[in-house]
Amino acid sequence: MRHIRGVARAVAATVVIGTSLTAGTAHAAQADENYAALGDSFASGTGTRDYFEDSGDCLRSPKAYPQLWADAHGAATFSFDACSGATTDDLNADQLGSLSADTTLVTVQIGGNDIGFADVIQGCLLGTDENCDSAVGDGEAATRDELPAKLDATYEGIRAAAPNAEIVVVGYPRINSTGDCGIPGFTETKRERINKGADVLAEVISERAEAAGFTYADPRSAFDGHGVCGDPEWINGPSTPLQESFHPNVTGHAEGYLPVVESAIG
């Protein structure tokens, strides 16, 4: 990750333990999985700097946690549908086609773009502490007032399209670490405020996942100390190209997300 001094703008598209199984039984079940991975840039692997050529603007990575899980557990079939920039509307329109009664496992990570994640990051990088507080507040309002209905409709659509699947809803990390930071103007106050917004998002997503009867995989503890300005960083700060900014890097997917998702899958 390379910080950009004097950054002019920023972009971002934007463990629950499952049923206990013996190692042999778990391996056998996972080897037979018909797995589909849905979601946005955090699920597609934007930030890893390594993408499948045929994924285009969706920026799907061979180093993203869904691909890592499918490879590690020998999934019988794997449909990698997550796409950078996706909202719940995009997921409902474009990512449900691969699901069927034969689908046995779905992971879904969505919601960050619906509540203006990129705008929040930009407002905090370029503005004052007060501007950042206002930007995060706007995102929190959208999270509480608008996102629940969008998630409910999305989860209902996934269940209807994959009636026999185990469905794991994957959350978002707190993207920042506190302490010394080499990003000009990215104060500790701003970083802490963004993290508080991430907690509000986690609360809403976990509540709606539970209401739908799905498992919630919470990555916040796994990423503690490894956010932007952490040591080591598992989430990129402002980067070149800009699309890599404020997304988990290769280590973030392999050592942050993958163990959390593995623990959540029953």
DSSP states of 66-111 as a string?
A: HHHHHHHHT-SEEEE---TT--HHHHHHHSSTT--TT--EEEEE--
Active site residue 41: yes
Q: Which residue has the tokens 């993958």?
A: 258
User: Within 10 Å of residue 128's Cβ, how many Cβ atoms?
Assistant: 14
Spot the catalytic one: 3, 73, 226, 247. Answer: 247
Q: Which DSSP helix (H) or strand (E) runs through 36? A: strand 34-39
* The one catalytic residue among 41, 44, 98, 245: 41
Query: Which one, of 37, 1, 198, lies nearest residue 117 by Cα?
Result: 198
Does residue 30 contact residue 223 with C-beta atoms inside 8 Å? no
221 classed as catalytic: no
Rounded Cα–Cα distance for residues 69 and 64 (Å): 9
Active site amino acids: 41, 247
